[in-house]
Structure 1
Amino acid sequence: MITTITTFALPEALTVEQAKAIFLSTAPHYTAVPGLVRKSYVLSDDGKTAGGVYLWQSRTHAEALYTDAWRARVREKYGAEPHISYFNSPVVVDNATHEIIADE
């Protein structure tokens, strides 16, 4: 599995309520993305940085999302260029399902 962390510096700080409204408007786009296990939206305490933490079945799945079109949507929605970091996630503890999941 792969975890990606996307971040972007916002041109103006957002409140949690403003961010929540924006995040809810984009969340439906992620419900059927192939290979995406989970996405968590994030906002820094000062409201100046936003992004997401994604858990993927594979790097190939992750890379399939981060297209030029995706980057353009982020720029349009948030007014900032996204930065993407990739991490191997060989073990995941899922307390919602009470599972420990290991890569094959």
Structure 2
Amino acid sequence: MLGPTCELAVAVARDLVEANHAKFKEADMSQTIAVVTYRLPEGMDRATALQMFRDSIPRYMATEGLLRKNVLYQKGIGGGVYLWESREAAEKAYSDEWKAYMTKKYEHPPRLIFYDSPITMDRQNDSIFDEGAVQHAAE
């Protein structure tokens, strides 16, 4: 059984894929989702954590290959669900330097999991993305 944090991360990852179909490139089948979680420093409250997350937005807005980031928060745990245009872009971002930075900033090493996203059902655009082929759900 997954713990609450993992269940939340998986649910957010699924929602992220479904909500971002418009960002997918029809010919590119290699979108990647990365789920990052980490323990927050002891005693950090929600307001402080959210402000730290907000302060990091400009850095992520400038990250090449990143299509979207959803911030995760649960008391004592922070993280994000990231939609990348490719596995290569994601792996480049999560370098040893990034891991050292995150460990220093949050006092604990991050946990990182990659997922391929070959099929997406997008209710907002009434479409299905299936390994590069896009069709409208009503077809």
TM over 0.5: yes
Q: TM (normalized to structure 2)?
A: 0.64
Structure of greater Rg: 2
**Offset of residue 26 of structure 1:** 1.1
Matching residue of 1:87: 115
Uncovered stretches (5+) of structure 2, i.e. residues with no partner: 1-30, 133-139
Whichever structure has more helix as a proportion of its residues is: 2
Q: TM (normalized to structure 1)?
A: 0.82
Pairing partner for 1:76 from 90, 98, 104: 104
Matching residue of 2:137: none
Indicate the SS of the match to 1:71. Answer: helix
Uncovered stretches (5+) of structure 1, i.e. residues with no partner: none
- CA distance in 2 between counterparts of 1:101 and 1:62 reads 24
Count of matched residue pairs: 100
Matching residue of 2:88: 60
Aligned ranges 1:13-32 → 2 under 5 Å: 13-32=43-62
Residue identity matched to 1:3: I
- CA distance in 1 between counterparts of 2:117 and 2:43 reads 31
Are the structure 2 counterparts of residues 21 and 86 from structure 1 closer, same or farther at C-alpha, using a change threshold of 3 Å? Answer: same
**Offset of residue 75 of structure 1:** 1.5
Of all paired residues, the percent bearing the same amino acid is 34
- CA distance in 2 between counterparts of 1:65 and 1:19 reads 22
Pairing partner for 2:78 from 50, 57, 65: 50
Indicate the SS of the match to 2:56. Answer: helix
**Offset of residue 93 of structure 1:** 5.1
Deviation by residue 1:17-52 (Cα, 9 ceiling, x = unmatched): 1111000111111112121110111111xx111111
> In angstroms, what is the RMSD of aligned CA positions?
1.9
